[in-house]
Amino acid sequence: MLRVVLVYPQIPPNTGNIARTCAATGTELHLVGPLGFEISDRYLKRAGLDYWPYVNLHYHPSLQDFQTFHQQQGGRWVGFSTSGSCSYIQFQYADGDWLLFGSETQGLPPDVLSLCSTVVRIPMNQPNVRSLNLSVSAAVGLFEARRQLGYLE
């Protein structure tokens, strides 16, 4: 089972959109705090529409709490960052991977990147565009992993 992890997300509508993607695909969503908003935020709820009952949501108040949870579960951490060593398409995903995405303003911090099994990037053709929106990046990464694993059928 793939999992999407948002480390220190800041913008509620992005998290809500990602939650909707996770609901549609049956993918667990893990939020690692501190968050830049409250879980009850109305913008978060609005972006997720009425799909919240279908989101398998896990909140971890700190990175340490998340690490402890992960150790019990196993699986690789696949970080998504503009500093990734290979394209997200070239990487071979495995069932049980955790797809980690950082905050909208900072990305994944260095201490989290160092804990990842691998760090991949989503290539940008325009050098003046640093990255995609967080919710778009999460969807692109999740759907590529699902495609490779045969989950799109």
CATH of the domain at 101: 3.40.1280.10
Instruction: Please report where in the chains the tokens 């905050």 appear, as a residue.
Output: 103
Residue 47 has pLDDT above 80, yes or no: no
Does 153 map to a domain?
no
Q: Report the SS3 class of residue 75.
A: coil
Does 114 map to a domain?
yes
Find the helix or strand (DSSP H, E) in which 118 lies: strand 118-121
Beta bridge partners of 8: none
Q: pTM of the predicted model, to two decimals?
A: 0.95
Neighbours of 33 (CB within 10 A): 17
Does 45 map to a domain?
yes
Greatest alpha-carbon pair distance for the chain in Å reads 41
HSE-up of residue 17 (Cα within 13 Å, Cβ side): 13
Annotated binding residues for S-adenosyl-L-methionine, written as ranges, equal 102, 122, 131
Mean pLDDT value across the chain: 94
Overall domain count for the chain: 1
Q: Alpha-carbon distance 134 to 105, whole Å? A: 10
Residue 41 has pLDDT above 70, yes or no: no
Does 57 map to a domain?
yes
Annotated binding residues, written as ranges, equal 102, 122, 131
Task: Dump pLDDT digits (tens) for 112-130.
Answer: 999 999 999 999 999 898 8
pLDDT value, residue 153:
76
Instruction: Residue 70: give the domain boundaries.
Output: 3-148
